[in-house]
Amino acid sequence: MIVSGSASQSFAAALATATGRELSAVAYDRFPDGELHAAVPEFDADHAVVVVSTVSSDAHVQLLQLQDAVREAGASEVTTVLPYMGYARQDRAFSAGEPVSARAMARAISTGTDRVLTVNPHEEAICDFFDVPAESVDAAGRLADPLPADLADPLFLAPDEGATDLADTVRSAYGSGATDHFVKERDHDTGEVVVEPSDAAVGDRDVVLVDDIVATGSTMSEAIDVLHGRGVDRVFVTCLHPLLVENARTKLARAGVAALYGTDTIERPESRVSAAPAVGRHL
Ligand code: R5P
């Protein structure tokens, strides 16, 4: 039985289709004081799969409630799927007194589940923060699907070294092209991003920028600016998790992006491919 958080309904439906499991009814309410209430009807299944992208504090609360609700409804085994795990980027404390928020969230989530699956977390190591078995699922290969078939001598470019493996996975799924990476520095006070270009020649080529997350769009728009300064032809942006907060779309449009794609780990108009079949193979 698959049970969905309110922000992951399409993903959960796709997971139900991919795995042939039933999709549970679920009701989301809010009390007058602002408190949330997420509930499921009783069901006839021992194993519940709770699917919630923790994109907000409300989504975190809803996840904890649904984990509890499915046990009340009769499930003896609970698997939690976090298509996108919020707070995963806060995976270390830079000074005494700072929280390791990813660990705090992982511990809380662990209390209501037997197992966790998450899609391409920012750092693989966050799986170790859970007190139950936790695995990451790699859905990056699907990011090649929406790309045009006629890319000119494509370069699959990571905006920082950490995303190089993702860029290589997308290149390999596309079937041709080269991989490279830029070097990124972010000012942690202002959020401003500076991208140091590699020496890869991009003149008259198409570039596909690949990252795990596009949040404010600062990283990608800065990278696109650099590429346009070097005579690139088209620049496509693709990512696993299209958070797209604040004015990200405007920044990318002003930078001249040819197209922007993501998966449905975060449900946005740009979520052109589904990571659900990849998750289904791990259930
Ligand atoms: C950070 O290292 C991540 O991989 C992404 O590069 C980052 O989250 C993108 O954030 P933004 O879109 O705000 O620049």
Q: Where are the beta strands (DSSP E) in the chain?
A: 2-4, 27-30, 36-39, 47-51, 77-82, 115-119, 134-137, 155-158, 178-181, 183-186, 193-196, 207-214, 235-242, 259-263, 271-273
Instruction: Look at the alpha carbons of 10, 240, 129, 92 in this order and tell me if their dihedral is positive or negative.
Output: negative
What's the total number of domains in the chain? Answer: 2
Mean pLDDT of 132-161: 96
Let me know whether 113 and 148 are in one domain.
no
Let me know whether 184 and 97 are in one domain.
no
Residue-number span of the structural domain to which 233 is assigned: 141-264
Q: How far is CA 3 from CA 9, 48, 77, 117, in A?
A: 9, 7, 13, 14
Q: What is the pLDDT of residue 193?
A: 79
Q: What is the pLDDT of residue 187?
A: 80
Rounded CA separation 225/61 (Å): 39
Let me know whether 6 and 131 are in one domain.
yes
* pLDDT per position as a tens digit, 218-229: 999 999 999 999
Residue 196 and residue 185 in contact, taking contact as beta carbons nearer than 8 Å: yes
Express as a percent the part of the chain with pLDDT over 90.
91
Rounded CA separation 177/205 (Å): 10
Tell whether ligand 1 has an atom less than 6 A from the beta carbon of residue 137. no
Q: What is the pLDDT of residue 183?
A: 87
Length of the chain in terms of residues written = 283
Express as a percent the part of the chain with pLDDT over 70.
100
Residue 33 lies in a domain: yes
* pLDDT per position as a tens digit, 30-56: 999 999 999 999 988 999 999 999 999
pTM above 0.85? yes
Mean pLDDT of 84-107: 96
Q: β-strands 27-30, 36-39: how paired? A: antiparallel
Q: Annotated catalytic residue: which of 21, 103, 115, 184?
A: 184
250 pLDDT band (50/70/90 cuts)?
very high
198 pLDDT band (50/70/90 cuts)?
confident
Q: What is the pLDDT of residue 170?
A: 98
Q: Quick one: tokens of 134?
A: 């936790």
Q: Which residue's CA lies nearest to atom 3 of ligand 1?
A: 213
Let me know whether 257 and 222 are in one domain.
yes
Let me know whether 152 and 84 are in one domain.
no
Distance from the Cα of residue 166 to its chain's centroid? 12
CB neighbourhood size of 93 (10 A): 12
Q: Is 184 a catalytic residue?
A: yes
Tell whether ligand 1 has an atom less than 6 A from the beta carbon of residue 217. yes
